Amino acid sequence: MQATRIIAIRHGETDWNRASRMQGHLDVPLNAHGQWQARQTARALAGESVAAVYSSDLQRASATARAIAQACGAPLVLEPGLRERNLGRFQGWTFAQVQAQFPEEAARWRGRDITYAPAGGETLTDIQRRILSTAARLAQRHAGGQIVLVGHGGMLDMLYRHAMRLPLQEPRSWPLANAAINRLLYTPEGLTLIAWADTFHFDQQEPLDERSQ
C-alpha cells in the first residue's frame, strides 16, 4: 500500500478554550478569533492537493473544516469518530472545579490513569482506540493521496503519541495549538511525524474585503 499524507488540524479557538472549560462532546462554536484562525489556515492550505477533508461533526471542528474544504476544492465529510474525548459529567467544568470538588478523581486524571473515565465518559484507552482506528480507516481510502483531518486536541494528542511511539502515561510536552498545521504520513506500519505545530499562517494579514472595510 502507498503512503497517505495526512494534514491534522485542531479546530479554531472557542470562548471555552479561553476560559479553560472542558468541552468534550458539547457543541461549542468558534469565537471571532477562531473564525479568523480557520480562514488563515484555509488560505495556507489553498494550494494543496487534497482528496477529502474529514471532520468531527462538532461545530467548532466542522466550521474550521468547511473553510479548508472550500479553499482546497475538496469534499467535506463529517466523521463522528474524530470527536473530542467524551468527558462525561465534567463537560463544561474547569479542571480547578473538578480538583476542588472531586480531588481523588482529579489526581487520577492528572496522573493519566488509563483506566479512569469521568462518569459517562471515555478513558484514555477508549479515545486512543477510536481516533487511531478512524484515522487508519480514512487514510486507507486514499492510499497515495493526501487528506485533511480536522478534530480536537485529543485527536492531535493521540496521533502525535502514536507517531512518536509514546505511551498514554507520558506527560504531554508538545503543543496542540488551535488551527496549527500538523503533517503526518500513514502506512500500514503506523504513523510517521513530518512536521508539527506550524503556525506561520497566523503571521500573515488577511486581505480586506467589502465586509471588513
Summarised one tens digit per residue, pLDDT across range 74-122 is 999 999 999 999 999 999 999 999 999 999 999 999 999 999 999 999 9
Residue set of the binding site for substrate = 10-17, 60
Query: Is there a domain that residue 196 lies in?
Result: yes
* Band (211; pLDDT cuts 50, 70, 90): very low
Query: Is there a domain that residue 211 lies in?
Result: no
Q: What is the pLDDT of residues 149-197, one digit of tens each?
A: 999 999 999 999 999 999 999 999 999 999 999 999 999 999 999 999 9
Query: Is there a domain that residue 213 lies in?
Result: no
The grid coordinates listed for 93 are 467544568
Query: Is there a domain that residue 181 lies in?
Result: yes
Q: How many domains does the chain have?
A: 1
Look up the CATH number of the domain holding residue 147: 3.40.50.1240
Query: Is there a domain that residue 212 lies in?
Result: no
Query: Is there a domain that residue 101 lies in?
Result: yes
Catalytic residues: 11, 84
CB 45 within 8 A of CB 181: yes
Cα-Cα-Cα-Cα dihedral sign, residues 92, 96, 97, 101: positive
* Band (205; pLDDT cuts 50, 70, 90): low
Range of the domain at 99: 4-204
Query: Is there a domain that residue 209 lies in?
Result: no
Vertex 36: Cα angle to 203 and 176 (nearest 5) = 70
Distance between CA atoms of 85 and 131, rounded to whole angstroms? 9
Query: Is there a domain that residue 210 lies in?
Result: no
What is the pTM for the complete model shown?
Answer: 0.94
Residue set of the binding site = 10-17, 60
Distance between CA atoms of 56 and 62, rounded to whole angstroms? 6
